[in-house]
């Protein structure tokens, strides 16, 4: 679905009201294949959300809940 959305112009760099990008959300919900795809397409993995969390931090947090 993500591939199709991007193929037709969806912008994965948009952020929500909490400062989360698509990479943040995919990481938070454990969608590793989507995370890998977004990274391969050049999405910023060092971008912090409003809580100062990067996608990598969310991945680590998710593994220790």
Q: Output the DSSP codes for 2-14.
A: HHHHHHTT--TT-
What is residue 65's predicted lDDT score, i.e. its pLDDT? 60
pLDDT digits (tens, 9 = 90+) for 16-47: 999 999 999 999 999 999 999 999 999 998 99
Quick count: other Cβ atoms within 10 Å of Cβ 51?
10
Considering the entire predicted model, what is its pTM?
A: 0.85
**Which listed CATH number (2.40.10.170, 1.25.40.20, 3.40.50.970, 3.30.1330.120) goes with 20-65?**
1.25.40.20
Write down the domain spans for the chain: 20-65
In angstroms, the CA 18 to CA 36 distance is 22
pLDDT at 56 over 80: yes
């Amino acid at each position: 679905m993500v591939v199709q959305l991007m193929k037709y112009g969806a912008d994965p760099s948009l952020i929500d009201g909490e400062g989360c990008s698509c990479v943040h959300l995919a990481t938070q919900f454990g969608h590793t294949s989507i995370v890998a795809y977004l990274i391969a397409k050049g999405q910023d993995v060092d971008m912090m959300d409003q809580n100062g969390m990067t996608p990598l931090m969310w991945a680590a947090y998710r593994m220790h809940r």
